[in-house]
Structure 1
Amino acid sequence: MSHADTALPISLDRAAPTPLAVQLADALRQAAATGHLRGGDRLPSTRALAERLGVSRTVTSAAYEQLHAEGWIAGKHGSGTYVTTPPGHVVADRPAGAPVPAPEAEVSSLLDLGPGTPWADGLDRAAWRRAWRAAADPPALIRAHRAGLPDYRTAVTEHLLRHRGLAAGAVLATGGTTAAVVELAAAVLERGDLVAVEEPGYQRAVQAFRRAGLAVAGVPVDGEGLRPDAIPAGARAVFCSPAHQYPMGSRMSAARRVELVERARADGMLVIEDDYDGELRFDVAPLPLLAALAPDVVAHLGTTSKILTPTLGAGWMVAPAEVAEAVLDYRELTGTRPSPAGQRVLVELARHGDLGRHLRKLRRELAERRSLLANTLSGAGVPVQGDDAGAHLVVPFASAEEEATRLAAAERRGIRFDGLSRHFLGEPTAYGAAIGYAGCTREALVSALPTLVSLLR
């Protein structure tokens, strides 16, 4: 085993908006990609590296924790921290601070309890195969539909009315939430425009906005969701997840929803409503969607990735007429449009009632899993945050050091979950673990409960 070169090309810019811990993690990944670090190299301790770079140990600990979570480095008891990933896994032009997925071989050895993974094992295999066979029956398309297949748009319209209480006037097919954000950023907003986002919030949307040349400002989130009074003046758009805030798990209150749409109308802002798992509510009926309250200023985004599977690559957008038209013009100019294959499969699942049956089964299963996890943790004295909804919950920590330590300890025990700190645009103000309970089997979750209690108590 070799030691890492003490002259690694690490340069931290204290004046940059990107947190120092993110800059450090990026630099170490780049060092691995360019061969300055190789598999088996031992890294300095977090304390030694902090002294060398002139930063606090909080910075180096957070960077190491992120690289641990991504599978790039691993700790060996009594020996140190080593590089585990060979060069070649960094995608060219990856946005600064964007998480890099660990190689398949690294992920497979851990029980992944990160949020954002659907319960794909719950899909009825016979219905799934039937839908794909039926989707192949229509003739191959000569030209793709800019707005999406008509049957798909009808199926989504019915889905939104039945499961989200939204009487959608016009639906556009999308490739999913992030793909829709990319289109809105390019088609509706202009370079230099200011977009407000939840803090903490969905960092892929942040990167999509930044890549489009937009300025991004974080808006604090509390137990009632995003604070409309903290949206900076001059914002052209605000991106939020009111039904189940990501990653904190809260629900935007009715008063906040009214305040937000009133602010949007007064200031000419577009509200981008990310309803990524809004169908998954277990305790009470969901509050009205922002798009139902103010269809004139809200672009509503939904996806099949959380309720079914990312395999379909299908989502939807319900937006004001001028916004929808701008997106269609953008697709015409660029030749980009969502793939119709996944749309056809969803149509068939909806046509035979399989989509509705799956959603009912999904709600029952995830409600039981959440109760099992939350009750076990709470009963052991572990605080749990987040509404009774969705597919993840949050366990708060007191500091960045505690978050880094507990996530690293979990990996050593064979479990991976997500830290809150990486979801901040600026300096983190909350720390904790976001624990998903949908992507694994029920048996695996039950088996992991004693380990989770010992890690988090």
Structure 2
Amino acid sequence: MGHGETALPVTLDRDSGVPLAVQLADALREAASGGHLRGGDRLPSTRALAASLGVSRTVTSAAYEQLHAEGWIVGRHGSGTYVTTSPPAPVSRRPVVMGPDHVSSPDLVALLPGMPWAEGIDRAAWRRAWRAAADTPPSAVAERAGLVAYRAAIAEHLLRHRGLDVAPNSVLATAGTTAAVVELAAALLRPGDLVAVEEPGYQRAVEAFRRAGVRVVPVEVDSEGLRPDTIPDGVRVVYCSPAHQYPLGGRLSAARRVELVDRARTDGFLVVEDDYDGELRYDVAPLPLLAALAPDVVVHLGTTSKILTPTLGVGWMVAPPGVTAAVLAYREDAGTRASPAGQQVFVELARHGDLGRHLRRLRRELSERRSGLVTALREADVPVLGDDAGAHLVVPLESADEERRRLALARERGLLLDGLARHFAGIPTSAGIAVGYAGCSRETLQDVLGVLVDVLRLTRR
């Protein structure tokens, strides 16, 4: 590399069927969109990069030409090639597995994290809840905070299943976790504010913050969850999933919970607690919420999309009074609210005990599925990460190349799996496969178990 040139995070797989020029263009595009390369960074010449990577200059020239056509880079006469500040048509070609609500092929069995056991919802109870919800008279008033009955049902749910004692008027209905993050960013943050997020973590929340003009800084995660000691100074919000870290599956240890709360109070930031599947623990009782430990500095978010179905389109928020008031003011200005129909159906499911019965069946079903899956993988000497909880587990791999290879092989054999790469806000620092086990039937999971084990236990070529 010449003076002033940026080191490039590029690894080329010569065994891949993807042309080297395409691989190189993809890697540079990903580095620019992920923040490793920034506007104004100088790139090495095609000749220097070819020598560094051990490829022909034809490969590097073709990659640069493609990126120049897309607007990612620009050549300056007599000076070199530079990353542009704002590409006119940013197109990400990161080789990722699409999320559970973008499953494109009916021929693939989707074993993806984030998918609920919607098949297990009792159809008679479902129909009864919708009929009862339809009997509710139409309202001429927009309930910005949510229906009174829904907020009361959520307060009861939180007390019964998560050990959080809150008054119904402290609960806000939301349109789900991502929508709640959008509201929090708009109501509380200003462009340029700093928000810390788990790395790897929930990228929809990351994108919601970024679209609000907020600066996102990744914070390291290990087997005990987020590391509070690595949170930088000056953050306004820390976003985390302490009960079941997404996607690695660990839980935030008791010592780190105390450390995180102490730092929040000392440094004056809010902790946003994403409790996306906190009800789903199989080894011990569901872990206490951060909101119960520190209601003054914690915003608690929950959703019905993981314990029931995304069809309802509702979730909830419990926050300090100042945060609640700011969100309600934003909703009034923006004219937004959560779906009243979804709220009413949830109320009816809770009122007749169907919600509680479903959660008991859900925990039993997913516990058995997880146990069978973990047993089969470990018998094949496949390592497994994550607590005995939730609806997915993670199989660690040695490299990003290995991750891509397993994902491609899984597709060839009829499985849609998820790689860790897409869960990083920046350059991925670890590799693995996230396997969901809730979105298909138990029979289907059993049918494909042998194929799944074969894909995940293959030795690296």
For Structure 1 versus Structure 2, the TM-score category normalised by the shorter chain is: 0.7 to 0.9
Q: 1:107 aligns to what SS in structure 2?
A: coil
1:18 aligns to 2:29 (yes or no): no
Q: 1:273 aligns to what SS in structure 2?
A: strand
Question: Conserved in 1, the CA contact under 8 Å of 2:100 and 2:114?
Answer: no
In the aligned structure 2, how far is the partner of 1:247 from the partner of 1:255? 21
Code of the aligned partner of 2:175: G
How far off its partner does 1:17 sit?
5.6
How far off its partner does 1:191 sit?
1.2
> 2:397 is matched with which residue?
397
How far off its partner does 1:306 sit?
0.2
How far off its partner does 1:349 sit?
0.2
In the aligned structure 1, how far is the partner of 2:314 from the partner of 2:150? 10
Deviations 1:336-376 (A, max 9, x none): 11110000000000000000000000000000000000010
Alignment of 1:56-455 (within 5 A): 106-169=104-167, 170-455=170-455
How far off its partner does 1:16 sit?
3.5
Deviation beyond 4 Å, 4+ runs, structure 1: 10-15, 47-50, 92-105
CA 1:424–1:123 in 2, change beyond 3 Å: closer, same or farther?
same
Code of the aligned partner of 2:162: R
How far off its partner does 1:52 sit?
3.6
1:51 aligns to 2:49 (yes or no): no
Code of the aligned partner of 1:277: D
In the aligned structure 1, how far is the partner of 2:152 from the partner of 2:140? 21
Question: Conserved in 2, the CA contact under 8 Å of 1:254 and 1:287?
Answer: no
How far off its partner does 1:286 sit?
2.8
CA 1:100–1:436 in 2, change beyond 3 Å: closer, same or farther?
closer
In the aligned structure 1, how far is the partner of 2:56 from the partner of 2:113? 33
Code of the aligned partner of 1:203: Q
Code of the aligned partner of 2:400: A
Q: 2:302 aligns to what SS in structure 1?
A: strand
In the aligned structure 2, how far is the partner of 1:54 from the partner of 1:298? 50
CA 1:348–1:314 in 2, change beyond 3 Å: closer, same or farther?
same
How far off its partner does 1:144 sit?
1.8
In the aligned structure 2, how far is the partner of 1:157 from the partner of 1:48? 64
Code of the aligned partner of 2:179: A
CA 1:416–1:48 in 2, change beyond 3 Å: closer, same or farther?
farther
How far off its partner does 1:51 sit?
3.3
Gaps of 5+ in 1: 22-46, 56-91
In the aligned structure 1, how far is the partner of 2:428 from the partner of 2:111? 22
Q: 1:138 aligns to what SS in structure 2?
A: coil
Gaps of 5+ in 2: 1-17, 38-54, 64-88
How far off its partner does 1:189 sit?
1.2
CA 1:392–1:103 in 2, change beyond 3 Å: closer, same or farther?
closer
Q: Provide the identity percentage.
A: 66
Code of the aligned partner of 1:114: L
Indicate the structure (1 or 2) with the bigger Cα radius of gyration.
2
Q: 1:358 aligns to what SS in structure 2?
A: helix
> 1:74 is matched with which residue?
none
In the aligned structure 2, how far is the partner of 1:417 from the partner of 1:188? 36
Question: Conserved in 1, the CA contact under 8 Å of 2:100 and 2:112?
Answer: no
Deviations 1:46-70 (A, max 9, x none): x999934688xxxxxxxxxxxxxxx
CA 1:280–1:48 in 2, change beyond 3 Å: closer, same or farther?
farther
CA 1:102–1:344 in 2, change beyond 3 Å: closer, same or farther?
closer
Question: Conserved in 2, the CA contact under 8 Å of 1:177 and 1:274?
Answer: yes
Question: Conserved in 2, the CA contact under 8 Å of 1:225 and 1:245?
Answer: yes
CA 1:426–1:211 in 2, change beyond 3 Å: closer, same or farther?
same
In the aligned structure 2, how far is the partner of 1:269 from the partner of 1:103? 33
In the aligned structure 1, how far is the partner of 2:289 from the partner of 2:193? 26
How far off its partner does 1:105 sit?
8.4
CA 1:335–1:252 in 2, change beyond 3 Å: closer, same or farther?
same
Deviations 1:111-145 (A, max 9, x none): 00010000000000000000000000011111220
CA 1:95–1:455 in 2, change beyond 3 Å: closer, same or farther?
closer
Code of the aligned partner of 2:395: V
In the aligned structure 2, how far is the partner of 1:239 from the partner of 1:48? 45
In the aligned structure 1, how far is the partner of 2:358 from the partner of 2:364? 10
CA 1:252–1:324 in 2, change beyond 3 Å: closer, same or farther?
same
CA 1:268–1:94 in 2, change beyond 3 Å: closer, same or farther?
farther
